């Protein structure tokens, strides 16, 4: 192993303190992308036209989500 990372295991877990690349794909990057895509709700225009409260809730969610992304970026810098 190079780069100073380590892999330590015990009876019930494995701790990896280095990049984990599987078939050329960075696992942490894949998990981050999955996490971000799960937080994005699709907009359903037909339902929002029928139920204005749904549009208000969706817009409020998007505003909150943007705030979370900004806070997360600031925390990671």
Please give the Cα distance from 59 to 52 (Å, whole number). 11
* Domain extent listing, the chain: 1-38, 42-77
pLDDT one-digit tens code per residue, 17-34: 999 999 999 999 998 888
pTM above 0.75, yes or no: no
Please give the Cα distance from 33 to 67 (Å, whole number). 18
pLDDT one-digit tens code per residue, 31-73: 888 877 777 777 888 998 999 999 999 899 889 988 988 898 8
Please give the Cα distance from 16 to 8 (Å, whole number). 7
């Amino acid at each position: 192993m190079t780069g100073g990372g380590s892999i330590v295991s015990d009876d019930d877990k494995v701790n990896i303190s280095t990049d984990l690349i599987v078939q050329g794909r960075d696992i942490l990057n894949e998990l981050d992308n999955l996490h971000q895509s799960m937080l994005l709700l699709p907009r359903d225009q037909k339902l929002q036209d029928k139920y204005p409260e749904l549009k208000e809730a969706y817009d409020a969610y998007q505003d909150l989500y943007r705030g979370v992304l900004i806070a997360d970026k600031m925390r990671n810098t």
